[in-house]
Amino acid sequence: MNNKPVAIVTGAAKGIGKAICARLIKNGFNVIAVDMDPDGASGLFTELGNDSLEYHKMNICEELKVKELFAELMARYGRIDAVVNNAGIIRDNMIWNMSVDDFDAVINVNLKGTWLMCREAAIVMKAQKSGRIVNIASRAWLGNRGQSNYSASKAGVVALTRVLALELGKYNVCVNAVAPGLIDTPLTQKLEKDVLQQLINAQPSKSMGSPDDVANTVAFLASAHTQFITGQTIYVDGGKSIGANM
């Protein structure tokens, strides 16, 4: 056991989540990496070492597992300084082709899973009178064709963030969201090449962002130096959210 601050990161096995783990470890955190990927641990430990890292295979949609995670960590560490809710999925389609299953799956992980993690984080942080919650939303909350489920889930994450900032403000707990645009991860690597190129062309930056771009912003919001920033949504999107010239 050491005296480092403790951060939980969900969706940690790859992509943006893995970059967030790496950044927070560099910034001196003990990182609790949470992911439902059974093979997620091997890659993480190989790349990030195991001095300040532990892996929990868990589905953030399972209420009891989420409660158990926080109880176990509190028993061992006695504090949780930051929770980064990054786990998310897409199931894209135009609404006339979208199944209820694809709607439910996306809302369940992106919104309900994030809410379940936030509830436990709020209970712990309210009692300890300190903490940082960073929720990964998406620029798509502003609206994206083919993403009625995903955009709605991320708009929910933005609203959740604002409400929790109000509810937790007087307990010295800051709650913010980061809204990435097009980021080069396994999620976007699944897109058809021509679709991806169109998306890049529509960027003011004419480029994709890297997971580190998001991780650096998350690390800033998760640090103890940001006690007067709360309820905000910070875009990391190469200017796409400006919306002009599209």
Q: How far apart are CA 232 and CA 5, in angstroms?
A: 23
CA distance 156 to 243: 21
164 contacts ligand NAI (rule: CB under 6 A): no
What does the DSSP assignment read for 61-101? T-HHHHHHHHHHHHHHHS---EEEE-------B-GGG--HH
Nearer to ligand NAI, 25 or 157 (CB): 157
Residue 169 engages ligand NAI in binding (rule: CB under 6 A): no
What tokens were used for 132? 């940082």
Catalytic residue check, 150: yes
For the bound state, the minimum distance from the C-beta of residue 3 to ligand NAI, rounded and expressed in Å, comes to 28
Asked if residue 236 binds ligand NAI (CB under 6 A), the reply is no
- Which among 174, 226, 217 is positioned nearest to 86, based on CA atoms? 217
Distance of CA 174 to the CA centre of its chain: 15
Regarding 9 and contact with ligand NAI (CB under 6 A), the answer is no
Of 12-20, 48-56, 71-79, 92-100, the window that binds ligand NAI (rule: CB under 6 A) is 12-20
Among 4, 37, 105, 172, binds ligand NAI (CB under 6 A): 37
| 131 counts as binding ligand NAI under rule CB under 6 A | no
88 binds ligand NAI (CB under 6 A): yes
Of 37 and 54, the one with the shorter C-beta distance to ligand NAI is: 37
Using DSSP, state whether 154 is helix, strand or coil.
helix
Which is the catalytic residue, given 55, 77, 150, 235?
A: 150
Give the torsion through C-alpha atoms of 72, 76, 77, 80, to 10 deg: 0
Tell me if 87 contacts ligand NAI by CB under 6 A. yes
Q: Which is nearer to ligand NAI, 60 or 174 (CB)?
A: 60
143 binds ligand NAI (CB under 6 A): no
Query: Tokens in use for 22?
Result: 């790496």
- The answer to whether 135 and 160 have CB atoms below 8 angstroms apart is yes
Query: Residue numbers of the site for ligand NAI (CB under 6 A)?
Result: 10-11, 13-17, 35-37, 59-61, 86-89, 109, 113, 136, 138, 180, 182-183, 185-188
The residues annotated with a catalytic role in the active site are 150
